Structure 1
Amino acid sequence: MKHNTIPGLHHVTAISGPPQDNLDFFTGTLGQRLVKKTVNFDAPDTYHLYYGNETAEPGTILTFFPFVDAGPGRAGPGMASAYAYAVPAGRFDGWMARLAEDAIDFNGPVERFGQRVITLRDPDGAPVELIETDRVAQAPLDGFHSVTLWEADPEPTAKLLTEVFGYTDGGTETGEGIERLRLVAPGDARGAVVDLIRTDTPSIGRSGAGTIHHVAFRAQDHDTHMGWREKLLGLGHGLTPVIDRQYFDAIYFREPGGVLFEIATDPPGFATDEPMEALGRKLMLPPQHEPLRDRIERVLPPLRTAA
């Protein structure tokens, strides 16, 4: 088995309220593609919606478990508190102008590690950060820039990311009562940045609508994935068995600060059960749930998607 360094994020999974509001915001306001409409494999009476770029590449995928009656959540220590999209070179001012023209509120811009950042809110009030980059891309957003983890003590998490995953220290910034440590994966893959924040402001996190459920990192192939499992088990981390998620294999564990981490394989990808040009148009079910399709479709709320 082999392992090397983690190149960056594979996906981020969050919890939302009603699915239609969520879909309209991410495909409308943010211009993402609905790349998969399926169900929570562990609770198939709930959608699992995947958004990404046009070719559904790792590092662009944001997924949601939408619950119609979800209570509001609140980020706190031991939780991922924000994700950020990368705005390609030359497009940041255009994003601000467009949001202003559409009367969509946002905070900023502020500067973070030399890059401009604006923050808007999704329908559940969760922060959605847009960060100016020098990456050249045709799409209005070029997948993930980073994810932020709120830690009571960042040091053990930083040690995992640097000594095990291969990230390097990108510096520290302090402002408005928040200390932010930046860690950067080697290479130029999307979602290569993880920020660890610490604050003395008291907060007790609560899972619910508007919070992040887990953060998934990339393994480029199955052999690498198994290598990571062996290595992490050898270091004393409690990992799940490999779980088949239809579009990738997954292992899960809690990092030292409490955030749920996943390592997910790039293959087989999202075009394994429907053609790339038709992604997101139909409700796709894994084989174990296909016999229940009629019942599942009756339970799920109607969802209007683009033809």
Structure 2
Amino acid sequence: MPKTIPGIHHVTAISGPPQPNVDFFTGLLGQRLVKKTVNFDAPDTYHLYYGDDAGSPGTILTFFPFANAGPGRAGAGMASAYAYAVPKGGFDAWMEKLASDAVDFEGPVERFGQRVITLRDPDGAPVELIETERESADALDGFHSVTLWERDLAPTAKLLTDIFGYQEQGHETIDGGERLRFAVPGDARGTVVDLMRSDAPSIGRQGAGTIHHVAFRAEDDDTQMAWREAVASAGFDVTPQIDRQYFNAIYFREPGGVLFEIATDPPGFAVDEPQETMGQDLKLPPQYESMRDRIEAVLPPLKVA
């Protein structure tokens, strides 16, 4: 069994119409659209991937955009937020940029000794920016963390520490709720998971503006299979390996109900197009290539800033 999960591979969320989503993430947040493909389970819908220029694990945020999606609402048993890491010295510049662009944001507030601001994407989902000590030339340095909203923190904490190799980093009580922080050692991106328990009377509902699942990294197929055995041995119902074209994936639900994925780093997003032109053309998995004309006819055109 591997010692620790290296960190977050990607986060997948649900949005409304795709163009406002593209405008927000490639425009305001300066992310690259690294892959334009379809939902492998519903090919009449896009699957959009944003990240750094290389599409590196730990920077990837993906969306299933549904034009007619009803609004969702985070609640217990769901991932409620993701946070981007703001490199050292860049936090005040972000607040100034958002203010000059007349973009509303909440904060800054302090969380575990780090400043945090929260803005909202076009579907009202929270997008957190957290001040870090990492050095990077990028305005945003991939993920800092995800927050999981749990009714009971203990079972998920046990999974993170006993199986995934996370270490508890701290505890805070804020506004009638509590937050536990866990992290894995090392300087990779996305090494932090926060568990939150809140007294807010919210019943979660999947829809536009909510997170669908959180994916953790496995360095290769052999490592992923070792994680699969470890998770299955702990009593979780884990899927077989599924080919997602740009990584292989396994899925299971953690004790609180959040859908977890473990995804391989390879082959990566340049497997079917050069890195220089990633995200420009619609890429389809082999099983849908014969349907390209029909798929392209129903997908709305997208313009990238």
Normalising by the residue count of structure 2, what TM-score does the alignment of the two structures yield? 0.99
SS in 2 for 1:236: coil
What is the aligned partner in structure 2 of residue 229 from structure 1?
A: 228
- Cα offsets for 1:227-272 (capped at 9, x unmatched): 1111111111101110000000000000000000000000000000
What is the aligned partner in structure 2 of residue 145 from structure 1?
A: 144
Report deviation, 1:3.
2.5
Equivalent residues in 2 for 1:126-205, closer than 5 Å? 126-205=125-204
What is the one-letter code of the residue matched to 1:170?
Q
8 Å Cα contact 2:250-2:263 kept in structure 1: yes
What is the aligned partner in structure 2 of residue 87 from structure 1?
A: 86
What is the aligned partner in structure 2 of residue 74 from structure 1?
A: 73
8 Å Cα contact 1:225-1:265 kept in structure 2: yes
Find out whether 1:248 has 2:247 as its counterpart: yes
8 Å Cα contact 1:3-1:225 kept in structure 2: no
8 Å Cα contact 1:60-1:142 kept in structure 2: yes
Report deviation, 1:200.
1.6
For structure 2, the 5+ residue unaligned runs are: none
Find out whether 1:97 has 2:91 as its counterpart: no
SS in 1 for 2:224: helix
Alignment partners' CA distance in 2, 1:41 and 1:206: 22
For structure 1, the 5+ residue unaligned runs are: none
Report deviation, 1:203.
1.1
Alignment partners' CA distance in 1, 2:232 and 2:129: 36
What is the one-letter code of the residue matched to 2:272?
D
Alignment partners' CA distance in 1, 2:297 and 2:2: 44
What is the one-letter code of the residue matched to 1:61?
I
Report deviation, 1:305.
2.3
8 Å Cα contact 1:79-1:212 kept in structure 2: yes
8 Å Cα contact 2:26-2:304 kept in structure 1: no
- Cα offsets for 1:35-88 (capped at 9, x unmatched): 000000010000000000011100000000000000000000000000000000
Report deviation, 1:201.
1.8
What is the aligned partner in structure 1 of residue 110 from structure 2?
A: 111
Report deviation, 1:175.
1.2
Report deviation, 1:4.
2.8
What is the aligned partner in structure 2 of residue 295 from structure 1?
A: 294
Report deviation, 1:170.
0.6
Report deviation, 1:302.
1.5
Alignment partners' CA distance in 1, 2:270 and 2:192: 27
SS in 2 for 1:100: helix
8 Å Cα contact 1:184-1:193 kept in structure 2: yes
Alignment partners' CA distance in 1, 2:14 and 2:52: 20
Alignment partners' CA distance in 2, 1:118 and 1:136: 19
8 Å Cα contact 1:146-1:195 kept in structure 2: yes
Alignment partners' CA distance in 1, 2:278 and 2:50: 10
Equivalent residues in 2 for 1:281-292, closer than 5 Å? 281-292=280-291
SS in 1 for 2:286: coil
Alignment partners' CA distance in 1, 2:51 and 2:200: 34
Alignment partners' CA distance in 2, 1:201 and 1:81: 13
8 Å Cα contact 1:82-1:128 kept in structure 2: yes
Equivalent residues in 2 for 1:6-85, closer than 5 Å? 6-85=5-84
Alignment partners' CA distance in 2, 1:186 and 1:219: 15
SS in 2 for 1:89: coil
8 Å Cα contact 1:4-1:224 kept in structure 2: no
What is the one-letter code of the residue matched to 1:21?
P
- Name the % identity: 75
The alignment of Structure 1 onto Structure 2 pairs a total of residues equal to 305
Normalising by the residue count of structure 1, what TM-score does the alignment of the two structures yield? 0.98
Alignment partners' CA distance in 2, 1:177 and 1:188: 32
What is the one-letter code of the residue matched to 1:18?
P
